Amino acid sequence: MTYPCPKGHDSTDPVWCSECSTRIPAAAAPASATAAAPLMHTGEMCPTPGCGTLRDGSSRFCENCRYDFELEQAYAGDGAPPPASIETAPDSATFARTPSPPPLDTRRWEVVISVDPTAWVQDDEAPAPEDEPDRVFPLDLAEHLIGRRSASPDIHPTIIPDERDHGVSRRHAMLLRLADGSYAVKELGSTNGTKLNGKLLPPGVLTPLAAGDSLYLPLWTCVTLRRREE
């Protein structure tokens, strides 16, 4: 059974397109009720150096590094070449914000992990948990990886959302400390993407953050940056 993707693919997954990871509308009807079951690839290992993540069934992309198993090459998006490492933010008009105050000697940053129940939709795997307390992670390193726990020794997330949110990738996004002491975020080509204050972040682009900015990770995780004085 397949489901019509908004980009024209026949997805084997009813929620996220198995070809391009685009969200499939809840009203989408199966494209074929008699389609053959997808070919499974149990035990196939990602060949990317330092990755080695086992392929998840018939998934086209590696959950960790987004290697394309079908094309046998690194993730290249929708036919475009892999994004270069761009150390600049997108057009300021796209991510308009109030500038952060000047760095202070006593400034300390932290993020708050919370559940956004409004982000859950009926065709997700499970509803967002209710009355879940917020969790606070201090930003005390130059780099903080946001992602799910992983058995891989090469993946070390320091900011770990609720394990029940299966939309979060093992390597979802990276927070990096800038020279002035503030932080920026880089989307790592995660399976389901990341939104900054409601706008989808392009992968591989370093985007400065300001106090109060919120990152939304499917299915219902919210990561909010805040500044505390000591």
Q: Which residues pair with 228 in a beta bridge?
A: 108
Specify if 13 maps to a domain: no
Domain count, the chain: 1
Specify if 38 maps to a domain: no
146: domain CATH number is 2.60.200.20
Specify if 93 maps to a domain: no
Identify the domain containing residue 152 by its residue range: 107-229
Q: Which residues pair with 208 in a beta bridge?
A: 184
Specify if 18 maps to a domain: no
- Give the pTM: 0.56
DSSP for 206-218, written as a single string: EEE--TT-EEEET
Specify if 15 maps to a domain: no
Q: Return per-residue pLDDT of the chain as tens, 230 residues.
A: 777 877 777 877 676 666 666 667 764 444 444 444 444 455 678 887 766 777 766 677 776 666 777 888 876 554 433 433 333 444 434 444 444 544 443 468 999 999 988 776 655 566 788 888 999 999 989 999 999 887 777 788 999 998 888 889 999 999 999 998 899 999 999 988 999 999 999 999 999 999 999 999 988 999 999 987 65
Specify if 77 maps to a domain: no
Specify if 95 maps to a domain: no
Q: Give Cβ neighbours of residue 214 (< 8 Å, ≥ 6 apart).
A: 196, 197, 222, 223, 224, 225
Specify if 6 maps to a domain: no
